[in-house]
Structure 1
Amino acid sequence: MASIYDLKPKFQNLLRPLVRLAARRGITANQVTLFAFALSFAHGAANIATHGARWVLFALPVILFLRMALNAIDGMLAREHGQETRLGALLNELTDVLSDAALYLPFALLAGLEPGLIVLIVLFGTAAEMAGIIGAQIGSVRRYDGPFGKSDRAFFFGALSFVLALKVAPGQWSTVLLAFAMALSFATIINRSRNALRDVRTQESGHA
């Protein structure tokens, strides 16, 4: 299924001059990864501390865009500038799910939103990333299948945050949207698992 992740190559092309500059300045992929995580954690903490202040909610789409850019930059620095390390791979996967939790779980504390659905979206999102990683472990590749990958979750929560910042009161509409996002998250786990297993079966039949 299609996902916002499919737009990543075009986004990377726009960032490539900035990546070259970062490499020349001695900035490492791991430094960028950790900065993106710190930025996510700081916003989540601000969201909790201010009980969802308007300026914090308005800031989330910007934070999510910066995080997306930083995630693309650290990957390009690693692949295109000889900075790939085991530590970098570990940090990349761990900080992705931790950043999601830091950014999105605070919404469970906002009045009017259904906390159980938000927690499930975050849990299913973590499971979807695990399914993607396990794909490579069983002989497929790192899976990024949709319909609700990391970029899609970011778009969803960024849009939700913006609407709430406009003082639109949560209600049935927000519960329905959260339930839909939860269902898409679960579908992403299924898709990534199924496609990984299909790849492995195809490879095994080709070697038979």
Structure 2
Amino acid sequence: MNGLYALKPWYADRLSGVRGALARRGVSPDTLTAAGVVSAGGAAAALALLPAPLAALPVAVLLAARLACANLDGALARDAGRTTRRGALLNELGDRAADLAMLAGFLPLAPLWLVATAALAATLPSWVALAGAAAGAPRLNGGPLGKTERCLLVVVAAAASGLVTPVLLVVAVGSALTAVFRCARLWRELGA
């Protein structure tokens, strides 16, 4: 079960021209990681400050930029021969920071406990994947509610204010289920 993650090769192919232009200009992959975090922060600000449905378009555009940066940073590093362990660390930290920044946009819209629960749950799939990689398994991605699905849900919440609480509940439960699915898969793979 890979969810929207299954579209990553198709999406990466669509971004190949942008990636080539960035490589020719010598853009650092780390710059793209930072731009993804900034885009997520901008989406959070739009979500928090603009009423629904006016928030939907800027949130969608900024989260699309966040996802593009998340796709481009590693691919650019590999294409340009600029992969480093520091870059991998920055990529992981940037992805977690972008998720947390994006969900912080809900702070003025929902109870703190619900936003905090969704934010914590949103990080769980990545922690499981990183723990599996530390144990020698390949890095797992995908699942019922990954990064792309979380971004899509935030756009849905930006479009209709009555959906804030249901969206946060879906993010929390879906992220926890994704972590459980990844953990079960890793358990099987590491036990073989």
Q: Decide: shared fold, TM above 0.5.
A: yes
Distance 2:144 2:46 in 1: 29
Residue 34 of structure 1 aligns with an amino acid whose one-letter code is A
Larger radius of gyration: 1
Segments of 5+ residues of structure 1 without an aligned counterpart are 165-169, 203-208
Using structure 2 for the length normalisation, give the TM-score: 0.90
Distance 2:62 2:119 in 1: 18
Partner of 1:25: 25
CA distances 1:146-201 after superposition (whole Å, capped 9, x unpaired): 1111111111111211223xxxxx2xx65344323322111111111111121111
Q: Which moved more, 1:87-96 or 1:52-61?
A: 52-61
Partner of 2:88: 89
Correspondence list, 1:177-192, <5 A: 177-192=167-182
CA distances 1:43-74 after superposition (whole Å, capped 9, x unpaired): 434555x3x44544431111111111111111
Of the three residues 120, 124, 133, the one matched with 1:123 is: 120
Using structure 1 for the length normalisation, give the TM-score: 0.83
Q: Which runs of 4+ in 1 moved over 6 A?
A: none
Correspondence list, 1:16-55, <5 A: 16-45=16-45, 47-48=47-48, 50=49, 52-54=50-52, 55=54
Contact 1:4 1:152 in 2 (8 A): yes
Correspondence list, 1:44-193, <5 A: 44-45=44-45, 47-48=47-48, 50=49, 52-54=50-52, 55-110=54-109, 113-164=110-161, 170=162, 174-193=164-183
Contact 2:5 2:148 in 1 (8 A): yes
Q: CA deviation at 1:141?
A: 1.2
CA distances 1:73-97 after superposition (whole Å, capped 9, x unpaired): 1121112221111111011111111
Contact 1:30 1:88 in 2 (8 A): yes
Q: Which moved more, 1:22-31 or 1:37-46?
A: 37-46
Distance 1:59 1:77 in 2: 26
Q: CA deviation at 1:20?
A: 0.9
Q: CA deviation at 1:21?
A: 1.2
Distance 2:148 2:29 in 1: 20
Distance 1:33 1:80 in 2: 16
Partner of 2:190: 200
Segments of 5+ residues of structure 2 without an aligned counterpart are none
Partner of 1:206: none
Contact 2:56 2:156 in 1 (8 A): no
Contact 1:145 1:191 in 2 (8 A): no
Residue 184 of structure 1 aligns with an amino acid whose one-letter code is G
- For residues 92 and 190 of structure 1, do their structure 2 counterparts lie closer, same or farther at Cα, with a shift above 3 Å needed? same
Distance 2:57 2:41 in 1: 16
- For residues 194 and 12 of structure 1, do their structure 2 counterparts lie closer, same or farther at Cα, with a shift above 3 Å needed? same
